[in-house]
Chain A
Amino acid sequence: MTQTTVDVTRNGTTAILRIHGEITGSSEPPIMAAYAEADGAKSIVLDFSQLDYMNSGGIGLLVTLLVRAQRAGQHLLAVGLSEHYRQILALTRLDEAIAIHDDEPSALAAAASA
């Protein structure tokens, strides 16, 4: 069974979604619930530092999230990616649509100036 939990915090007009555990196709309920909680934010920062596992279903879920964010006029940013998960975003060319930052302060600064 998939274990995914997402904590949502706010920093001004930016929402930070801290993802713990796994992202698979079955992670849609907790991730979309967290996204709904971030309603009204201008930018969404996805924190992957506690990510243990992601399969191709999980990547599909990130695209769905990206589409929803784009439709709402929100920017999507990512922090806390290990080298392995950076490579997956590069492989799938998702890094062309999700801005990757080394740490949270730089992501928040980019979000604030967006």
Chain B
Amino acid sequence: MTATEPRAPRDEGSWAQPVERLTTTATTTSQDTVTGKRVSGPVQGFGQLWQKTFSVRVPAEQHSPDAVVVHWKAGFPTFWPKGATFYAPLAGITPGEVALFDVPPVPGSPIKMSTGILVIYADHESFTFMTSEGHALSAWITFSAYADGDATVVQVQALERTADPLIELSYIFGANRANDRFWERTLENLARSLGVAEPVVESIRVCVDRRRQWKYAGNVRHSAAVHMTAGTVTAPARWARRRRAGRSGPG
């Protein structure tokens, strides 16, 4: 008698393996603030839970959903708005890979916040990122495309909480809207690359949970924004200290 082997789930190859701490093959021109950190999703975030859906329509005749997702993965960094930089891992957007990026904490800021994401899921019609500790958001962000009549709908769907009280405060004072604009511009850029002259992005924002998770207020200790600000503020003092040490050294 032959024992029946358990059937492998269809989604098995699409998910990343669990990881305790993140490592990356991506190369950044700034500081790698992600290696050694854990992932952080909506369960571990501090602020209100938002579900945001951004979508744009492209002609299905020229662009099937699968083809759009291939195009998106291949050129992912090029669709981001100016001022933000995405450093892809060597294997590209595949499950288990960690990407790094630099983004301004607020639009127009000359200072960049370095952080990253883990690709937790990827198949032929979608891929999903989960943010690392230190990111402004504790989030899952899914990028997908599907057919709807004569159009292919290209979509970004984020399930997100701000990571800590300081970021939540910035969300109240405009960063929430700025974050929305980031994904709207990304979709506009993607649609233009597919030949849509005047893309129209639809945005739907739903606050799924208005409560704040005070037990995660301590996430602020991981905050890339706080570390970046502290590093910038103390830079002149560190420079002066180095200079003094150089003068009093042997010579």
Residues of A that sit less than 8 Å from B by CB = 25, 52-57, 59-60, 63-64, 66-67, 71, 82, 84-85, 87-88, 90-94, 96-97
Could you jot down 8 A-B contacts, CB within 8 Å?
A54-B11, A56-B128, A63-B42, A63-B159, A90-B18, A91-B18, A91-B120, A93-B41
| Interface presence of B244 (CB below 8 A) | no
CA distance A67 to B38 in the complex (A): 22
Tell me, in angstroms, the Cα distance from A69 to B9 when the chains sit together: 28
Chain B residues engaging chain A, CB cutoff 8 angstroms: 6, 8-12, 14-19, 38-44, 49, 51, 120-121, 123, 126, 128, 130, 140, 142, 144, 157, 159, 208-209, 211
State the CA gap A16–B4 with chains docked (Å). 29
A84 touches B12 (CB 8 A): yes
Q: Are B9 and A82 in contact (CB under 8 A)?
A: yes
| Residues in A whose Cβ lies below 8 Å from that of B11 | 53-55
Main secondary structure of the interface of A (DSSP, over half): helix
Say yes or no: A60 contacts B43, CB within 8 Å. Answer: no
What's the Cα separation between A57 and B120 when bound, in Å? 12
B119 to chain A, nearest CB (A): 10
Query: A93 touches which one: B44, B49, B144, B209 (CB < 8 A)?
Result: B44
Return the contact of A91 from the options B6, B17, B42, B123 (Cβ within 8 A). Answer: B17
**Contact assessment for A52 and B18 in the assembled complex, using a CB-CB cutoff below 8 Å:** no
Contact indicator B17/A57 (Cβ below 8 Å): no
Interface contact A84-B9, CB-CB below 8 Å: yes
**In the complex, what distance in Å separates the CA atom of A55 from the CA atom of B12?**
10
Residues of B within 8 Å of A92, CB to CB, are 39, 41, 43, 120, 130, 140
A56-B120, A67-B49 known; A88 vs B43 contact (CB < 8 Å): no
CB–CB A60/B15 < 8 A = no
A94: contacting residue among B9, B43, B157, CB under 8 A: B43
Q: Contacting B41 at CB < 8 Å: which of A52, A53, A71, A94?
A: A94
Neighbour of B121 across the interface among A55, A63, A66, A87, CB < 8 A:
A55
User: In the complex, how many angstroms separate the beta carbon of A30 from the nearest chain B beta carbon?
Assistant: 19
Which of A25, A63, A82, A88 is within 8 Å of B15, CB to CB? A88
